[in-house]
Amino acid sequence: MTTIVTILSEGYADWETALLNAGARQYYGIETRFATPGGKPVTSAGGLRVMPDLAVEDIDVAAIDALVVNGGTAWSREDAPEIGAVMVAARDAGKTVAGICDATLALARAGLLDTVRHTSNSPDNLGPTGYAGKALYQDQPSAVVDGRIVTAPGTAPVSFMGAVLETLGLRNGDLDFYLGLYGAEHKAA
């Protein structure tokens, strides 16, 4: 069974991976699991308290297909959770590694954005991480896929959902339908 593990941090942005996880689970039958640093409960920006399935430290990258990092204010702090080792291990194992909004900071700190096209909330957002991929930054409002690395600004949960599912080989008429459905409000009248 295809498995997606989403990493949540304290104050995570509820909306950023909601469509991805709901669509993956409900429409595609994908197993969705949630991890937090230390396996501790976290509370979202909107007040939703989550008891995770596992600790980040216990993620077995051999047993998953995608590792998704949900955005939130924790990733922009100096004491941001350290999750670089599991992200690098997932990338090295050929798994999808995805980050949205400020979660792209975690990918940049781990060196995952040094050699791939990527995006974030703004061109200046990733600079403080000291990463070496500035020349590959794509200043666009939708998700960017380069190999199995997916990045998106926080305002792009729909294209992020589509990009992650596409890297899992699920690009078909159903996915196109869901992308159209969830993105319909953004189409010009």
Print pLDDT tens along the chain (189 aa).
Answer: 999 999 999 999 999 999 999 999 999 999 999 999 999 999 999 999 999 999 999 999 999 999 999 999 999 999 999 999 999 999 999 999 999 999 999 999 999 999 999 999 998 999 999 999 999 999 999 999 999 999 999 999 999 999 999 999 998 888 888 888 888 887 776
Backbone angles phi, psi at 149, to 5 degrees: -100, 130
pLDDT of residue 97: 99
pLDDT of residue 99: 98
What are the distances in angstroms from CA 68 to CA 41, 97, 124, 130, 181?
A: 18, 6, 22, 22, 23
Please, which residues have CB within 8 angstroms of residue 7's CB and are 6 or more apart in sequence? 34, 35, 36, 56, 67, 68, 69, 70, 83, 103
pTM: predicted TM-score of the whole model, two decimal places: 0.96
pLDDT of residue 70: 98
pLDDT of residue 189: 64
The angle subtended at Cα 175 by Cα 187 and Cα 12, nearest 5°, is 80
